[in-house]
A = this chain, B = another copy of it.
């Protein structure tokens, strides 16, 4: 168990929110503040879509799948976040703190969580934590206009990458889309034949797999780098 805790601390230290924090600082902090460790079984729901974000939550073991449904179109995106990762820190604050996705465990998953008011105490107590969250949220804030300003060729492949990039967390690995084809065409502004040709080409390069109502991207980073 001591070994597990040790490896958990070392994993957490890799996260942007704990950047510049020493092993000693982190272990002191986790012992002092009421962090809670929760274990979820495969397929168990961790967060329901629309639930208020009341805790800062970290994935500390296993993987979690986040699923977002679009409001008006029959398109659903699932992304996998493996430990170590943080769950949508941009929903702790802001006018709307409802998670836009549901989260379920993929295999056994461990979540470490801290109630928002205690996290605010951390931010006030130490400038390192303050800078980390400001950097993290700012980076996130800059993404929308940054992605728009970088549009290159307007191709369907680029649009698909733009959509995925806008929807997923920085640490996401695998992405799965489930859709009614007509609605994916609407989302990407593409005719059916053009969409299928683009998907064939991306599949040919090993960047995704696709069927009539689904796309699987095993390595999001590779897809985004190849297309953008």
Distance from A69 Cβ to chain B, minimum over Cβ atoms (Å): 8
One digit per residue, 1 when the CB lies within 8 angstroms of any chain B CB and 0 when it does not, for chain A 149-175 equals: 111111000010001001100000000
Interface residue? A72 (CB, 8 A) = yes
A114 at the interface (CB under 8 A from B): no
A179 within 8 A of B: no
For residue A37, CB closer than 8 A to chain B, the reply is no
* Size bracket of the A interface: 35 or more
Task: Give the docked Cα–Cα distance between A163 and B137 (Å).
Answer: 21
Give the B-binding residues of A (Cβ under 8 A).
Answer: 68-73, 90-96, 100, 120, 123-124, 127, 130-131, 133-135, 137-154, 159, 163, 166-167, 185-190
- Which 3 pairs, one residue from A and one from B, show the smallest C-beta to C-beta distance? A94-B138, A90-B141, A140-B141
Given contacts A72-B151, A141-B141, 4 further A-B contacts (CB under 8 A): A68-B149, A144-B144, A144-B147, A189-B190
